[in-house]
Amino acid sequence: MGIRTGSEYRESLRDGRTIFVNGERVRDVTTYPPFRRVVETLAWLYDLQHEHHTLLTYPSPKTGEPVSLSFLLAESEAEMERRWRAEEFRAEAVYGLMGRLPDFMNALVTDAAAVHQFIGQREPRFGDNLWRYYEACRDNDWCLTHTLVDPQIDRSKGPAEQEDPYLALRLVRETDRGLIVRGAKMLSTLAPFANELWVGPFYPRKRGEEAYALCFAIPVETPGLKFICREPYDSGRSHFDRPLSSRFDEEDALAVFDDVLVPWERVFINGDIEAWSYIFSARTPGYALLQAVVRGTVKLRFLTGLACAVAEAIGRAEAPHYQAQLGELVAYTELLNGLIRTGAAEVATARRTGTPPRTLAAVLWVLLPRVHLRAAEVIRQLSGSGLIMTPTERDFANPEIAPYVEKYLRGKGVSAKQRVQLFKLAWDLLGEQFGSRQLQYEWFYAGDPLFTHARFYHSPIVRQYKTLVEQLLQSDARQGGQS
């Protein structure tokens, strides 16, 4: 099949899936008003693959048809550059505001495929399943969602110690046809708009938790699989009033599995803690890490541009301390622009030699969440009350008040309408439901920061750093220029 068009993608979502929003089952996600516009955005991204196929596709090694570059098992730096340039193009199309563009899961499945032989070490058929699944995702251009984390319930206990062992997703039994699984996972971003759900490792599992060490993929419309969505943020307001939530609300859902059958050919890990830990411990090449960093960098460019535009629109860009803050954001953005190349080179090396992409992980787990929050803080501080005082498009259309709005809400060298539109964009990005979720998302995007940060402390490099200290303490007075 190869790359799909927007209308083929839209049609594929009309499959009887079980999606609940606001207490009701949504029969057709493509026409449901709060979902309709983001489906249009996603369909447009599918169409872009045809318009820009040289930039965004390569021939499938199996069928020869054009498929998304986010499936390329890139090994050389030139191939890596093709990959990330395509990912950058699509991230730019949505200003980095959709954290789970299909590119992300395409990259994650490609990572898993790269280590399929290890995953199949104990049971080779599972490794083969994984490889075939990767090929099917690539050649059918499916849109995937994923869910990795157990529901919170009581975080002081593991999944097996909860009052009900089936709160977290768990194996019920094995049958001739496959696994029966029950429980829940959260969250699942993009779920109503995906074709496939990937369930897999994230946090480590320990001995005794084998029934929870499951990795598989199933169609979203699988019987017994239900998604309970959070309140949608697209309330039908105009693009002027809600420039972002009217286009990019990718949705999040709780995934509930009511004795769902996972066919054997879709099982990748069943109780194998070692295979589970292998994927979890970032020993995959890091294609998904790179896509996430590219997306995050594009968003930071957008945030930096917005901060500068807001400051200039109210004459604040002349104040030296704001210039310093804006410059700080520009500098972070430059740093990240450079780190994409470093990260891409690391992934190419990781694919060839298995050396983990450490810089890339540090960027995604530590640097990006911090700089996104810093950019939000700068925009909030420099915009002051302007962020709040944003009348609607209809206020500008009412002749009784329009002259006042136009007079008192104009900016420095910009009309009131331009200024209000800009500040509305900033408010949608930082303050509205959409914006608050964005902040929460960037912090937890790559998992719990407490956990991901601590992983660096436990890494072998720490020994080298401590050795420097020991060296100094043990050196005699002549070393290091001391008298």
Query: How far, in Å, are 8, 61, 67, 194, 196 from residue 140 at the CA level?
Result: 11, 13, 8, 13, 11
Alpha-carbon span 350 to 75, nearest angstrom: 9
Helix (H) or strand (E) holding 90: helix 77-93
Q: What string marks each residue from 90 to 109 as x (binds ligand FAD by CB under 6 A) or -?
A: ----------x---------
Long-range CB contacts (within 8 A, 24+) of 54-60: 55/85, 55/86, 55/89, 56/3, 56/86, 56/89, 56/90, 57/2, 57/3, 58/82, 60/2, 60/138, 60/139
User: Is 54 a residue that touches ligand FAD (CB under 6 A)?
Assistant: no
417 neighbors 408 (Cβ within 8 angstroms):
no
Nearer residue to ligand FAD within complex by CB, 100 or 301 = 100
User: Is 252 a residue that touches ligand FAD (CB under 6 A)?
Assistant: yes
Q: 69 φ, ψ to 5°?
A: -65, -15
Nearer residue to ligand FAD within complex by CB, 252 or 432 = 252
Residues in 445-474 that interact with ligand FAD by CB under 6 A: 447-448, 450
In this chain, which stretch among 38-46, 118-126, 171-179, 440-448 interacts with ligand FAD, using CB under 6 A?
440-448
When binding is defined by CB under 6 A, the residue of 410, 444, 455, 456 that contacts ligand FAD is: 444
In this chain, which stretch among 27-35, 115-123, 148-156, 379-387 interacts with ligand FAD, using CB under 6 A?
148-156
Nearest-approach distance from CB 367 to ligand FAD, in angstroms: 17
Nearer residue to ligand FAD within complex by CB, 454 or 472 = 454
Nearest-approach distance from CB 187 to ligand FAD, in angstroms: 4
Nearest-approach distance from CB 175 to ligand FAD, in angstroms: 26
**Tokens matching residue 55:** 């930039």
In this chain, which stretch among 29-37, 87-95, 144-152, 267-275 interacts with ligand FAD, using CB under 6 A?
144-152
User: Is 17 a residue that touches ligand FAD (CB under 6 A)?
Assistant: no
5 neighbors 50 (Cβ within 8 angstroms):
yes
User: Is 419 a residue that touches ligand FAD (CB under 6 A)?
Assistant: no
User: Is 152 a residue that touches ligand FAD (CB under 6 A)?
Assistant: yes
Residues that bind ligand FAD (rule: CB under 6 A) add up to a total of 18
**Tokens matching residue 421:** 């539109």
User: Is 10 a residue that touches ligand FAD (CB under 6 A)?
Assistant: no
Alpha-carbon span 175 to 199, nearest angstrom: 19
CA 7, distance to chain mean position in Å, is: 24
Nearest-approach distance from CB 434 to ligand FAD, in angstroms: 11
User: Is 187 a residue that touches ligand FAD (CB under 6 A)?
Assistant: yes
Nearer residue to ligand FAD within complex by CB, 146 or 372 = 146
User: Is 387 a residue that touches ligand FAD (CB under 6 A)?
Assistant: no
**Which DSSP symbol is given to 150?**
P
Got the DSSP string for 275-319?
HHHHHHTT-S--HHHHHHHHHHHHHHHHHHHHHHHHHHHTTGGGS
Q: How would you class 84 by CB atoms within 10 Å of its CB: exposed for 0-12, middle for 13-18, buried for 19 or more?
A: buried
Alpha-carbon span 184 to 203, nearest angstrom: 15
User: Is 147 a residue that touches ligand FAD (CB under 6 A)?
Assistant: yes
Alpha-carbon span 74 to 366, nearest angstrom: 25
Rounded to whole angstroms, the maximal C-alpha distance in the chain is 84
Alpha-carbon span 214 to 350, nearest angstrom: 25
Strands 66-68, 57-59: pairing kind: antiparallel
User: Is 148 a residue that touches ligand FAD (CB under 6 A)?
Assistant: yes
Residues paired with residue 174 on neighbouring β-strands, in sequence order: 179
In this chain, which stretch among 161-169, 383-391, 419-427, 441-449 interacts with ligand FAD, using CB under 6 A?
441-449
When binding is defined by CB under 6 A, the residue of 76, 175, 238, 440 that contacts ligand FAD is: 440
Nearest-approach distance from CB 17 to ligand FAD, in angstroms: 17
When binding is defined by CB under 6 A, the residue of 12, 30, 188, 383 that contacts ligand FAD is: 188
Nearer residue to ligand FAD within complex by CB, 42 or 344 = 42
User: Is 149 a residue that touches ligand FAD (CB under 6 A)?
Assistant: yes
Site residues for ligand FAD per CB under 6 A: 100, 146-149, 152, 155, 187-189, 252, 437, 440-441, 444, 447-448, 450
